[in-house]
Amino acid sequence: MAIILATAFLFIISLLTDSVVAYIGTSLYDYMPTTTVFLVRGANILISFFFVTVWFAITFKYLPDAHLHWRPIWIGAALTGLLFMMGKFILNHVLINSRLGPIYGPSASILLIMLFVFYSSMILFYGASFTKTYADYAAFKIKPKPYAEKYKKRLKDKLRGTDQNFPTGNRLPGKKNAFE
């Protein structure tokens, strides 16, 4: 519930800052018409990057069933935020410059939404994997929470066919299981 509320809070703050940047941009346009467009775009990109990074950091800190230091979380969130912003930029250009309308018709927008959801989920997974790998590399201890469930041994047992809770039908004559 806290992650949902934090996401809503960050979304509202992001909308407010976008509005403030747009207002400042229109005010500055009278004084510096050529550079205002670049300043507003740059400020908007930096603010969006900041909020996306904070959202990924909150997600990486509170979603897993483990305690982790903030340093690897911020590094992983910054990388994930950068990749997310790059993907958003690329998909924005694909949406504007492509001729998907004549090919797919009205379903082109659904196709792009599905592509964005797929890309976002892969970036989230990659960012979480990078954060864990960086935490292991930098010797930060990842301590499981008391209610966390261990899964490595059970996964190995499932693959070997020795887990009693996961019966396998892949027995071969003369071998314990199909993986040997």
Q: Which residue has the higher pLDDT, 129 or 23?
A: 129
Structure-token pair, residue 117:
């959801």
Each residue of 70-79: pLDDT tens digit? 999 999 999 9
| CA trace torsion 156, 157, 158, 163 (10° rounding) | -170
How would residue 15 be classed by pLDDT, with cut points 50, 70 and 90?
confident
Among the listed ranges 29-38, 39-48, 64-73, which one has the minimum average pLDDT value?
29-38
Rounded to whole angstroms, the Cα distance separating 92 from 106 reads 17
Each residue of 22-35: pLDDT tens digit? 777 777 777 777 77
Give the CA angle between residues 137, 142, 144 to the nearest 5°. 155
β-partners of residue 143 are 67
Rounded to whole angstroms, the Cα distance separating 60 from 77 reads 8
Three-class SS state of 50: helix
